[in-house]
Amino acid sequence: MNTDLKNKVILIADGTTPVGKAAAELLLAAGAKPVCCVPTAKAAADANADSTDSAHGTVPADSAYGTDNASSTSDLIPVDFTSEEDLRALVDRILADERYGRLEGLFYNMIPDVIRKRVSDLSVEDVDGMIDRDITAAFAAAKVIGCHLMTLEESTPMVFLGSIHDEKPTGIAPLFSMYMGALRNLIREGGIFFGSGSVRLNLIEAGALGGEDELFRNDISTFYDGYEYKIPDGHVGTPEEIAKIALFLLSDESRYVHGEAIRADGGLVLHYIDAIANIYAHRRMDDTKKDAAE
């Protein structure tokens, strides 16, 4: 599977998350050479703090998007993704490293902190922070890595990890949705320019991966209440499944896929079923639990 990835050097923006770690393992298994980074803020927190929460203390460390407590950032390359200078230095470092010597793709899997505030409680400073920190980082990575990839005489990929909340409001985390909407449009706008240089940009719109019922709990939206049973077959996605989609998009097997947002949510956004009505999901999930117990 994905034999065309053999010896390809792929940059993973955040190697501390479950999705990032799964992607690195899959790339290694395919014969690729992943280069795993960590945002400088995370690296500093890992070295100086006992807290396992994100930089803003809002994303649970054991969530599918948060940092994996079992991993250390000591063996990852710290990068300030908001700095074009830092990103150019990273590219130069990879090209100069005899283990790599090339850079042929990007998996940008940075996810912003989930800041729980209603729209009425957000400040201009909150919005500025999201733009300066999260949107700027995604844009800078697309610009610097994309411009490098355009110099190669081959089709190369940039894959970004997003969320179903680029269209679906959360009710409690508007900044999260605003970032995801900006990311989706970055893929479209960047796709026009970078596509002319044979660089493919695609987005994965990830759905529930576990814990969203607590992460996005609020009294406006009941979207995640009983969400396991709102997914038609009751299967909640895993970081490994998201990483497999990234692997496909990073490979030449996706050569004709460009500027697309691929939704991976098990059909959650389509739901017109509730936790009581979806008896089929109840039965399947009960059977799965019984099989696992045996």
Residue-range domains of the chain with CATH: 3-293 (3.40.50.720)
Q: What pLDDT was estimated at residue 71? A: 47
pLDDT band per the 50, 70, 90 thresholds, residue 2: low
Q: What pLDDT was estimated at residue 229? A: 83
pTM of the model: 0.88
d(CA 266, CA 244): 15
- With 90 as the cut, is the pLDDT of residue 86 above it? yes
- With 70 as the cut, is the pLDDT of residue 193 above it? yes
Q: What pLDDT was estimated at residue 62? A: 47
Q: What pLDDT was estimated at residue 70? A: 45
The two tokens of residue 247 are 């692997």
Sole residue written with tokens 């529930």: 208
Average pLDDT, the chain: 88
Q: What pLDDT was estimated at residue 254? A: 95
In the chain, the DSSP E strands lie at 9-12, 33-39, 77-79, 105-108, 156-163, 199-206, 260-264
- With 80 as the cut, is the pLDDT of residue 1 above it? no
pLDDT band per the 50, 70, 90 thresholds, residue 135: very high
For the sheet with 156-163, list strands across it. 77-79, 33-39, 9-12, 105-108, 156-163, 199-206, 260-264
| All residues at 6 or more sequence positions from 240 whose CB lies less than 8 Å from its CB, including other chains | 22, 26
